[in-house]
């Protein structure tokens, strides 16, 4: 059993809380029964499971694991009252591909919002999520937690959104940008067979260059006195409408 | 200027972070320019503004205010990098009333989810939000923050949901319970003029007694591999559909 928080392995695991190290090491860290089960089921490569000394979890034979002390587990865990299981998972690099239903994310900053958008894209049957520059890292732990496992179900890729939009349009996909001004209500939109939806930054929305490239700007009507909708909420209402 | 965190006033303000004291004192605390501006605009009674010594905020003449030191403000504030303005606001007790569009919340636990549901209900033109037993307090600071000011726009009341459902039905309102089993897809639902929607607890959904009372159980189809939708997301998709 691993009992020292100064053990080199423990130090490596803790580094995975930072984006820079996730990118360098090509892996990320997840916590809790549900996410670890989803990871195991998904076929993504588990580098190692960390199981807390007092915890029970059915570990498959082929997966490497290390038992750690309560103190070590606390040093690794990011949630306040963690379940006693965590895992280091190898990042599967996905490629942008032609899809009938794509969600494009332009600069969403809040990890909960991005995670929820990925989960909802999965639920709504979208086929990929493409993250433009300035978007929070998909392998940030708060993002992964909010995806509730959908990070393992739906390809999440990074891309230059201007190029992606042009490529999608060339292959017949209609691109909609979510917007508050100069837009038409989503309820007026017939739902084409091939769709991409762009959701923008919480404060600034979709950037000008992308709005100009999009085929149509759409908005969700505000009937009450709220100034706007949360980005993940707007994404959900539009995705469920656009998928027809 | 108030400089001691042991000042009785500061102690009172800090107590407002707890539900028990909010209920006893009949007020709650908000932070940041946007929420304070919304509170001032709303006509809700501001008991007192707290402004940090280094901060500038246009305080209306009739509103009582206290300048506080940076240290005192940090002791009061709950956000990590607060703006230097906060306020104690008197809770306006609202009453349940007959409405054409009502959102009923049965045991939602996550403050962010409840706040987002209130914000979205406001945006979708719903007329009231009724909180059943076991639902997180609407005046919890994380809830208020997630409402983005909608707590001041739309009546949020507590009630016995079984009684509320029966009263609404008597006056011709059609009541829908969000569900995962024995339900029909929301897309099949014609949108009646008078609607109430029940959203349930994150883990357990709407409780059995309410499901039985509801006129119809509806669900949102999952097209991908996600197991479920976030409660606030489900509420948003259903509210925007049901409002027609």
The pLDDT tens digits of the residues spanning A36-62 come to 999 999 999 999 999 999 999 999 999
Same structural domain, A205 and A119: yes
**CB B185 within 8 Å of CB A243:** no
One pLDDT digit (tens) per residue for chain A, 244 residues: 999 999 999 999 999 999 999 999 999 999 999 999 999 999 999 999 999 999 999 999 999 999 999 999 999 998 888 899 999 999 998 888 888 999 999 999 999 999 999 999 999 999 999 999 999 999 999 999 999 999 999 999 999 999 999 999 999 999 999 997 778 999 999 888 999 999 999 999 999 999 999 999 999 999 999 999 999 999 999 999 999 8
Q: Which domain holds residue B71?
A: 8-90
Chain-chain contact of B154 with A224 (C-beta, under 8 angstroms) = yes
Report the distance separating Cα B65 and Cα B42, nearest Å: 18
Report the distance separating Cα B186 and Cα B229, nearest Å: 14
Among the partner residues B149, B224, B237, nearest to A237 by beta-carbon distance: B237
Same structural domain, A108 and A220: yes
**Average of per-residue pLDDT values in chain A:** 95
Q: Is residue B95 part of a domain?
A: no
Residues of A with CB under 8 A from a CB of B: 112, 116, 119-126, 146, 148-150, 153-154, 220, 222-230, 232-233, 236-237, 240, 243
Query: Which pTM was predicted?
Result: 0.95
**CB A195 within 8 Å of CB A161:** no
Burial pattern A95-110, b for ≥16 Cβ within 10 A else e, equals ebeebebbbbbbbbeb
Same structural domain, A123 and A230: yes
Kindly report the backbone phi and psi dihedral angles of residue B149, in degrees, each rounded to the nearest multiple of 5, phi listed first. 105, -15
Model pLDDT, residue B3: 94
Same structural domain, A46 and A136: no
Model pLDDT, residue A97: 85
Residues of B in contact with A236 (CB under 8 A): 229, 233, 236-237
Report the distance separating Cα A55 and Cα B226, nearest Å: 27
Q: Residue A159, Cβ neighbours under 10 Å: how many?
A: 17
Same structural domain, B127 and B235: yes
Under the phi-then-psi rule, with left for phi > 0, alpha for psi from -120 to 50, and beta for the rest, what region is B158? beta
Report the distance separating Cα A237 and Cα B73, nearest Å: 39
Same structural domain, B60 and B21: yes
Tens digit of each residue's pLDDT (9 = 90 or more) over B125-147: 999 999 999 999 999 999 999 99
Same structural domain, B159 and B227: yes
Residue B181 has pLDDT above 80, yes or no: no
Burial pattern A67-84, b for ≥16 Cβ within 10 A else e, equals bbbeebbebbbeeeebbb
Same structural domain, B152 and B188: yes
Q: Is residue A2 part of a domain?
A: no
Residues of A in contact with B199 (CB under 8 A): none
- Out of B40, B60, B90, pick the residue that ends a domain: B90
ipTM of this model?
0.95
**CB B94 within 8 Å of CB B157:** yes
Place of tokens 């703006």: B83
Q: For residue A237, what is the domain's CATH number?
A: 3.40.1280.10
Among the partner residues A148, A149, A233, nearest to B116 by beta-carbon distance: A233
Report the distance separating Cα B158 and Cα B136, nearest Å: 11
Report the distance separating Cα A108 and Cα A199, nearest Å: 8
Model pLDDT, residue A80: 82
- Out of A65, A90, A115, pick the residue that ends a domain: A90
């Amino acid at each position: 059993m691993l009992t020292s928080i100064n053990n080199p392995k423990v130090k490596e695991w803790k580094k995975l809380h930072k984006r820079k190290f996730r990118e360098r090491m090509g892996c990320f860290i997840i916590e809790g029964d549900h996410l670890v089960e989803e990871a195991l089921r998904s076929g993504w490569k588990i580098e190692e499971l960390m199981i807390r000394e007092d915890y029970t979890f059915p570990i498959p034979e082929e997966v490497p694991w290390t038992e750690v002390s309560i103190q070590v587990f606390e040093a690794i865990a990011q949630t306040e009252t963690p379940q006693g299981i965590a895992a280091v998972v190898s990042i599967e690099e996905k490629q942008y591909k032609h899809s009938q239903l794509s969600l494009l994310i332009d600069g969403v900053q809040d990890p909960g919002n991005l995670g929820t958008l990925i989960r909802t894209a999965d639920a709504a049957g979208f086929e990929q999520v493409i993250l433009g520059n300035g978007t929070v890292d998909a392998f940030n732990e708060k993002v992964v937690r909010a995806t509730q496992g959908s990070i393992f179900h739906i390809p999440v890729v990074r891309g230059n959104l201007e190029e992606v939009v042009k490529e999608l349009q060339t292959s017949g996909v209609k691109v909609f940008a979510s917007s508050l001004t100069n837009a038409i209500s989503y309820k007026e939109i017939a739902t084409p067979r091939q769709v991409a939806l762009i959701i923008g930054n919480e404060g600034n929305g979709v950037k000008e260059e992308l709005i100009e490239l999009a085929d149509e700007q759409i908005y969700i009507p505000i009937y009450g006195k709220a100034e706007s909708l949360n980005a993940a909420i707007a994404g959900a209402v539009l995705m469920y409408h656009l998928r027809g």
